[in-house]
Structure 1
Amino acid sequence: MLLTLLSHQWKAELRSSVFRKGLVLNMITGLLILYFGSVFLFLGFHIDDILAKAFPEQSPVALFNGALLYYFMIDLFFRFILQELPVLAVEPYLHLPIPKSKLVHFVLLKSVPSFFNLLPLLFLVPFMVSAVLPAYDTGVALVWLLALLAITLFNNFLLLYFKRQMSNKPLYTLAFGVAVTLLMVLEYLNALQLQEVSEAVFGSLLQQPWLIVVPVLLLAGVYLLNYLFLKVHTYPEELSVRKQSKVEGRDITFLNRFGEIGKLIELELKLVWRHKRPKSLVIMSVVFLFYGLMFYRSEGWMEGYAGLVFVGIFMTGMPMFNYGQFVPGWQSSHFDALLTRRISPYQFYAAKFWMFVSVVTLAFILTLPYGFLGYKIILINTAAFLFNIGVNVFVVFFFSVYNTRRLDLNKGSAFNWQGVGGHQLLMQLPTLLLPVLIYAPFGFMGVPYLGIAAIGLLGLIGFTLQKQLLQWSARWFVKHKYKLAASFRQD
């Protein structure tokens, strides 16, 4: 039955118009996967030599084991931001004589061959061959590898469970994020040496291979947790979906998989691409990414932390600030028509939220090379990135209802003050200064990294509670939508 369901999914992908229209995009994605896969494969075969040259007095295997806990925590973070939930259209199968358990198992197993689960194989297997096998028996090396793969899959199913719980029980996900953050704080305060713990835990697998039962049991437990949750939520009454509005726009095919919100994002991207003013703002945002060359080369900025927090918020969030300061003015010319459509305010803001999360994530990735100038730049920019997607994006939504001036999208941004008002300045103050104020008391107490952690934690809490905050933004918009419509008609 699992093979039958897999064949149905494969045929649906091949026969869909999305697959044919997105063939070029799929080829580009495949080339990127091959490139990064080759990089990780190269590192897997040569990381033992790199570690031996950098730390000649220590064993490369012990050093590698000492970094594994950090790796799995970073893996959890990127899964939380990027990993999608595996889905299956269950309704067509519920009336057939197919055990519901098989449908649930298929949905869970569908997540196993993902990029996040396959990528570790490209450097774990070569490292085992080049470094672990020469020092230990073959059986011990295989047990060590299987334990790491079990923990990788444990991360996979753990994140899937918490992502499914985000909408119904966001406090569960919040507690999980707080626990991970607490580990980082304990590491910073030297109350818990994660490197030593990691080296002891994974080194014990090489000394006592029977300990593999621990990660296997953890994997089985989290798999069972997901299984029970999905089985309870596959009844027809649980699957009933409220009738949603239809939004036109199907040219950017890969966005169709995200439903109505994806189509709204597609329309927003078309608006940017087809009009001069939003396009010029995008170009300006790209230029702002190079401002780090001016700030980070100054010794005065690099010695402190508050200035770097300001720069981190500025650089990772500038695309969102530039475009978000005129929301919903971009739709001012057809705002009345927008109100007549069956598009809920929640959908409207959710589409902008995920578009902002995407561009801020891209800006954050593009600023990572600045980390070569100092490791703390990466830490601060990561906290700034979380703050932007968890707090500042909702600050932008709060001030959006005061943007009552109509915009002419065919005029450029240079020396164009149309639509600019005092609320834009008011919006910039909390978005840029609030994280600095959060950091300030920690800086005065001489614990700067706790201040950075507080900024990141606040952003993580906001991102976890995104559904509730988006609902609040939608209600705030409903209170002001008629005032906005009347203002846009007058200009």
Structure 2
Amino acid sequence: MLLTLLSHQWKASSRSSVFQKSIALNIIIGLLILYFGAIFLVLGFASKKILLGLFPNENPVIVFNGGLIFYFLVDLFFRFLLQELPVLAVQPYLHLPVRKNKLIHFVLVKSLPSMFNLIFLLVFVPFLINAVMPAYGIGAGLAWLFAILCLTLSNNFLSLYFKRQLSNKPMLTLAFGVVVAGLMLLDYVGAFSLVTISKAVFGAVLSQPWLAVVPLFFVIGLYLLNYSFLKAHTYPEELAVHKTTQVEGKGIAFLSRFGELGKLIELELKLIWRHKRSKSLVTMSVFFLFYGLIFYRNQTYMDGFAVLIFVGIMLTGMPMFNYGQFVPSWQSGHFDAILTRRISPYQFYASKFWIFVPVATLAYLITLPYGFFGYKIILINTAAFLFNIGVNVFIIFFFSVYNTSRLDLSKGSAFNWQGVGASRFVMMLPMMLLPVLIYLPFKYMGVPYIGVAAIGLLGLIGFIFQKQLLQWSANWFLRHKYKLATGFRQA
């Protein structure tokens, strides 16, 4: 049955109209995988020498073990961000004598040959041969590698489980993320040392190889957890089965007070929540809020302003940038229907504006704790927030008329270049550079805080004149709507 399902999957992919169009892109991705694979392989063979150079008085294996917990935490983060859920269209099998548990097992096993599950071998196997086996013996070395393999697979199934729970129990996923972030924070403030724990755990496997069996129970438990979740949902979304239902519902009572504008906002929110690509972009935006830790802990950056302004723009505007870069391509599947409805372009852009503003406000409020690193972070982020909702949002609307590529909302955003064009990169230039250019003259005059205030003031003026700017955006859209419609039909 496994071979039969694999055969069906391959035929479905190779016979798809998309397959021929994506050959060039797949070749490029393949070359990139080979390139980075070679880098990791060289890193694996050079790891012992690098560690001896950095820590000349310590055992390189012990130093390597000390970083493994951090490796698995980072691996889990990137899996959650980038790893696609394995899918299978089960409709063709429902009328056949195929047990549902076999289909579920196939979906779970299908996730194993993932890049995240294989790439670690390029580093760990060379290090095992060069450093671990000569020091601890073949048996202990293989047990150590087996333990790492089991923990890697545990990350695989743990990530898949929480990504599936994201649509059903988002608070559970959020709680898990808070726990992981809390562990990192406690290690940072010195409450305990993850390095010490990591050295003890993996050192114990080397001294007592039978302990390598313990991570195997983690893999089995997480596999069964995913299995029970999928089996409990007869037609889970992760298996790409969608029931045909009438698009109705109680709606959001709060938004109904705003008439047609509220209905458009409600429909936009439903679009975000019901489709894989939009949800994955939202998830990426949430994780990006930790971006400030890279810069705010560095005193060199804290002594200046330009970099902090750049970071402030990114932190308070990234959710808006991520979603706004594909306006109006989100509606590409039903764009002709929008043009035939009694929806004015002003309402169309106003609904998006009043989604962006609360989202940017929420991102700004979440970044306020960064103020513990320095009070000027709050001042800069406040100015950046005002600039985003008063200026950058209309830059997004200006470039939106050049987004003529159709989007497939059922696909995730990881390694998905559909709809990504030159206009996206050109759009980011004024959004990132304009606030810094506004600040620079005041810097050279010796009044940097006035420069920060000027950024915020320009954003505030733009927000005050939002109606006029929205009308201008609507007129700009009217000049290009037929070009957009043609592009969406041809894509």
TM-score in terms of structure 1 length: 0.58
Relative to structure 1, the CA distance from residue 26 to residue 325 in structure 2 (aligned partners, 3 Å threshold; closer, same or farther) is closer
The Cα RMSD (Å) is 5.0
Q: Which amino acid aligns with 1:220?
A: I
User: C-alpha separation between the residues in 2 aligned to 1:231 and 1:486?
Assistant: 52
Relative to structure 1, the CA distance from residue 408 to residue 32 in structure 2 (aligned partners, 3 Å threshold; closer, same or farther) is closer
Relative to structure 1, the CA distance from residue 340 to residue 262 in structure 2 (aligned partners, 3 Å threshold; closer, same or farther) is farther
Whether the aligned pair in 1 keeps the contact of 2:230 and 2:236 (CA below 8 Å) is no
Shift of 1:140: 1.3
Aligned to 1:169: 169
Aligned to 2:110: 110
Q: Which amino acid aligns with 2:71?
A: Y
User: C-alpha separation between the residues in 1 aligned to 2:202 and 2:124?
Assistant: 13
Aligned to 1:11: 11
Aligned to 2:409: none
User: C-alpha separation between the residues in 1 aligned to 2:108 and 2:337?
Assistant: 42
Aligned to 1:197: 197
Relative to structure 1, the CA distance from residue 395 to residue 144 in structure 2 (aligned partners, 3 Å threshold; closer, same or farther) is farther
Instruction: List aligned pairs for 1:85-484, cutoff 5 A.
Output: 85-235=85-235, 239-242=241-244, 302-304=301-303, 309-314=308-313, 337=339, 339=341
Shift of 1:82: 0.7
User: C-alpha separation between the residues in 2 aligned to 1:119 and 1:331?
Assistant: 34
Whether the aligned pair in 2 keeps the contact of 1:336 and 1:485 (CA below 8 Å) is no
Q: Which amino acid aligns with 1:199?
A: K
* Per-residue deviation, residues 256-291 of structure 1 (Å, max 9, x unmatched): xx9x969999xxxxxxxxxxxxxxxxxxxxxxxxxx
Shift of 1:407: 5.8
Q: Which moved more, 1:159-168 or 1:90-99?
A: 90-99
Q: Which amino acid aligns with 1:97?
A: P
Shift of 1:241: 2.7
Query: What count of residue pairs does the alignment treat as equivalent?
Result: 340
Whether the aligned pair in 2 keeps the contact of 1:324 and 1:396 (CA below 8 Å) is no
Q: Which moved more, 1:310-319 or 1:211-220?
A: 310-319
TM-score in terms of structure 2 length: 0.58
User: C-alpha separation between the residues in 2 aligned to 1:405 and 1:37?
Assistant: 37
Unaligned 5+ segments in structure 1 are 246-257, 266-295, 357-379, 389-393, 412-423, 429-479
Q: Secondary structure at the match of 1:148?
A: helix
* Per-residue deviation, residues 334-371 of structure 1 (Å, max 9, x unmatched): 99517579xxx9xx97xx99xx9xxxxxxxxxxxxxxx
Relative to structure 1, the CA distance from residue 329 to residue 39 in structure 2 (aligned partners, 3 Å threshold; closer, same or farther) is closer
User: C-alpha separation between the residues in 2 aligned to 1:24 and 1:323?
Assistant: 26
Shift of 1:167: 0.8
Shift of 1:310: 3.6
Relative to structure 1, the CA distance from residue 224 to residue 489 in structure 2 (aligned partners, 3 Å threshold; closer, same or farther) is same
User: C-alpha separation between the residues in 1 aligned to 2:337 and 2:390?
Assistant: 17
Whether the aligned pair in 2 keeps the contact of 1:327 and 1:403 (CA below 8 Å) is no
User: C-alpha separation between the residues in 2 aligned to 1:46 and 1:121?
Assistant: 14
Shift of 1:11: 1.5
User: C-alpha separation between the residues in 1 aligned to 2:8 and 2:211?
Assistant: 39
Whether the aligned pair in 1 keeps the contact of 2:157 and 2:222 (CA below 8 Å) is yes
User: C-alpha separation between the residues in 2 aligned to 1:142 and 1:219?
Assistant: 18
User: C-alpha separation between the residues in 2 aligned to 1:64 and 1:191?
Assistant: 22
Relative to structure 1, the CA distance from residue 190 to residue 114 in structure 2 (aligned partners, 3 Å threshold; closer, same or farther) is same
Quote the sequence identity (%): 48
Q: Secondary structure at the match of 1:166?
A: helix
Relative to structure 1, the CA distance from residue 408 to residue 312 in structure 2 (aligned partners, 3 Å threshold; closer, same or farther) is closer
User: C-alpha separation between the residues in 2 aligned to 1:13 and 1:331?
Assistant: 24
User: C-alpha separation between the residues in 1 aligned to 2:49 and 2:395?
Assistant: 62
User: C-alpha separation between the residues in 2 aligned to 1:408 and 1:72?
Assistant: 40
Relative to structure 1, the CA distance from residue 150 to residue 487 in structure 2 (aligned partners, 3 Å threshold; closer, same or farther) is closer
Shift of 1:193: 0.2
Unaligned 5+ segments in structure 2 are 248-271, 280-294, 360-372, 403-430, 436-465, 479-491
